[in-house]
Structures are given as C-alpha cells and as structure tokens.
Amino acid sequence: MKSSQHTTRFGTTDVLLVLVTTIWGLNYVISKISLQEMNPMVFNSLRFVIGAVICWIILLFRETNFKVSKGELFHLFIMGIVAHGINQVAFVYGVAKTSASTASLILAATPMCVAFLAGLLKLEKANGKTIMGIVISFGGVALVVMGAAGGIGINVESDVGNMLIVIATLFWSLYTIMIRLYFKDISIVKVTTYSMTITAVFFSMISLKQIMAADWFSYSGAAWTGVIYSGIFVFGISYTLWNIGVRKVGPTRTSVYANLPPFVSILTGRLILGEMITKTQILGGLLIIFGLIYANQKDSVKQVEKG
C-alpha cells in the first residue's frame, strides 16, 4: 500500500468542475420553476430519460465496446437505484418544499460527507485540517437549516424540505464514493450511461401513475425548459464531467466544488424567484465555504492506493 498526495494545482479538470457546479447552481432555480407546475416524479422521470439519451449519444461517439461484467452491472444497479434514485427523490421533493437557496446551501455540505465516507472506507486519509474543516462545515449546515424562513419548528413544510435535502446530500455523497470504489476498470462515460439508464427506468416505473395522469399540454414553456435544461446539462453532461473529476482527482477534492452552486443559486434565486436569504443563512454558508477551503488546503488529503 502506498500513499500519494493530492496538490491543489488548478488544472483542466478543475475548470470542468467549475462548469459543472455552475450548471448545478442554476438548476436549483430552474427546477423550482418546473416543479411549480409538474409533479416531482414526472419531472424527474422526464429529465432522467433525456439525460440517459444524451449519455448514450456520448457513449456511441466515444466507445465501441458497451459490455460490462456481472459484478459491474450489480454495482451499477445499486448505484442507480439506491444512491442515485433516493438522492433524486429526496432532491425534487425537497426543492419543492424549501427555497432554492436553502437547498443549495445544505447540499454544499457534500464534501464533508464525502470526506467522512472516504476516510471510513480508507480511500483517503484526512489530517487535522480536514477534520477541523468538517467540524466547521457541520456548524455551517446547522445555521443554514435554522436560518430558513420561519425558523426550525415554525414552518413545517420548509423543515421537511430541508431534511429531504439533507438526505439527498448523504446519498449523493454515497454515489460519489461508489464511482471511485467500484469502477476503476470501466470508462466513466460507460458508468454514467448505465447508471443513468437504470435510474431512468426506475423512475419511469415508480412514476407511471403520475405520468399517465399528467396534463402534458398544460405545462408552460418555462416548465419544459427546466426539464430540457436539467436533462441535457445536469444529467447528460455535468454528471459525466463530475464522474471524470472523481476518477482524476479523487472524491474529496472533486466534492469540494459542491460549495460553488450556492453562490449561483442565491443570485439567480433572488433575480428570478424573488427569494430572500437570511443573515443566519449567509453566515452558515460562509462557514461551510470556509470549512471546505480549510479542509482542502495543499497536502490536507492523502490518497491511498492499493498496490
């Protein structure tokens, strides 16, 4: 077993991850617009199907071998249904019940969860700086949730939404870890395509009743724009780039970029939805960002490779 250290040198992969998190930041607001008209399960089913189609197009252009082993297919199934499926159910219902800015700030705690899971599974070793950064981030998440409009225990619907976003964060962290843990010998494009397809089938099956009852012609152009944007850019393109980042620079460093969407989301949430953000939430967001930066300083994470 040998260890190698990740540095923080900014490269092409980092640029792509900035693009990914910008797309995600916009997605919180755009998704909320669509969810004002669409049933959350219908919305998710549509964008997963679009995302799967885009992934297959990318795969067809990039590769000629589409086979996966039985072991890989099993892990892809688990990742697509459990890690990804539960993540997205919690996400769409959470966003529908809470504000876009609050949802994005809670999800900014993803690096904290990923670092914990990576350390638990001995994929990465975190030193004192990383541990302290995680503690600071936990404090930030608590402030974000407590600073939501109405406060904890006053606005029940918002509180439920916040808890669902916390669940989404946990399962997205699991998804990120699984990419590194189980798919070292399979291309990232293939991993993304198969997992996306499995999740699309899963959502279409569990959403069949809502899909049949949907009034398709009543949806506005803005609602359809949200579906198309989320399907193509969030699921089809950014997921592939995110998974490439996990493969190239490791789960913890990749997940650090989850702290960028809140800034995009807060700005667009105010401009498009007229959402307000409280001072407590701002403080919580700053604590999350500070904790993540502190935890990800040079040489704060050691990669563990078996060999």
Give the residue among 214, 251, 269 at the shortest CA–CA distance from 126. Answer: 251
Lowest mean pLDDT among 128-142, 184-198, 227-241, 292-306: 292-306
Q: Cα angle vertex 42, ends 41, 45, to 5°? A: 85
Query: In the predicted model, what is the mean pLDDT of residues 187-200?
Result: 90
Higher pLDDT, 292 or 33: 33
The phi, psi pair for 155, rounded to 5°, reads -100, 95
The string of pLDDT tens digits covering residues 165-181 is 889 888 888 888 888 88
The whole-chain average pLDDT of the chain stands at 78
Whole-angstrom distance, CA of residue 210 vs CA of residue 231: 19
- Model pTM? 0.73
- Asked if 131 and 289 touch (Cβ cutoff 8 Å), the reply is no
Can you spell out the DSSP letters for 234-300?
IIIIIHHHHHHHHHHH-HHHHHGGGGSHHHHHHHHIIIII-----HHHHHHHHHHHHHHHHHTSTTS
pLDDT for residue 150: 47
Candidates 160, 213, 157, 167; CA nearest to 45 is: 213
Confidence of residue 157 (pLDDT cuts 50, 70, 90): low
Note the maximum CA span of the chain.
Answer: 59
On whether the CB atoms of residues 100 and 28 are closer than 8 A, the answer is yes
Angle at 146 between CA 164 and CA 41, to 5 degrees: 20
Confidence of residue 252 (pLDDT cuts 50, 70, 90): confident
Return the pLDDT at 295.
64
- 51 or 122, higher pLDDT: 51
- The pLDDT score that the predictor gives to residue 154 is 44
- Residues 18, 20, 25: CA angle, nearest 5 degrees: 90
Mode of pairing for the β-strands spanning 124-126 and 2-5: unpaired
Q: Return the pLDDT at 197.
A: 94
Residue 200 has pLDDT above 50, yes or no: yes
Cβ neighbours of 3 (radius 10 Å): 10
pLDDT at 224: 94
Backbone phi and psi for residue 304, each to the nearest 5 degrees, phi listed first: -105, 125
How large is the average pLDDT for residues 176-203? 87
**What percent of the chain is modeled with pLDDT above 90?**
17
What pLDDT sits at residue 130? 65
In this predicted model, what pLDDT tens digit does every residue of 55-79 receive, in sequence order? 999 999 888 888 888 888 998 998 8
**SS3 annotation, 168-200:** HHHHHHHHHHHHHHHCCCCCHHHHHHHHHHHHH
